[in-house]
């Protein structure tokens, strides 16, 4: 519980928890503490979901948004130059 409290104090937006052979489940007490005492969402990642797949999708979304922003900035700047 102390780790969750410390991460919450650092301003962490949320925490993904991968269930596997070392951590087969997450106790209801931990989930309740995170939801009621802290404002720290816990995202439970099932055993059959690869963490790499989650990261790939997240990074793709971030890169695509940044590329779209840069394209708009370039387009706007090109319009002012003419």
Task: Render pLDDT for 12-57 as a digit per residue (tens, 0 to 9).
Answer: 999 999 888 888 888 899 988 988 889 889 988 888 888 899 999 9
66-69: long-range contacts (C-beta < 8 A, 24 or more apart)? none
Domain shared by 2 and 40, yes or no:
yes
Does 82 have pLDDT greater than 80? Answer: no
- Residue 21: its pLDDT value, please? 84
* Residue in 25, 29, 30, 60 with CA at minimum distance from that of residue 42: 30
Coil, strand, or helix at residue 42? Answer: strand
- Residue 62: its pLDDT value, please? 95
Does 6 have pLDDT greater than 70? Answer: yes
Domain shared by 1 and 23, yes or no:
yes
Residue carrying structure tokens 């999708």: 57
List the beta strands (DSSP E) in the chain.
15-18, 42-45
**Number of independent structural domains in the chain:** 2
* Structural domain for 38, as ranges: 1-47
């Amino acid at each position: 519980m102390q780790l969750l409290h410390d991460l919450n104090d650092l301003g962490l937006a949320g925490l993904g928890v991968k269930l596997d052979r070392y951590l087969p489940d997450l106790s209801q007490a931990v989930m309740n503490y995170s939801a009621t005492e802290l404002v720290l969402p816990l995202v439970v990642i099932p055993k059959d979901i690869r963490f790499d797949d989650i990261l790939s999708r997240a990074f793709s979304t971030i890169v695509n948004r940044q590329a779209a922003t840069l394209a708009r900035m370039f387009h706007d700047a090109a319009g002012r130059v003419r």
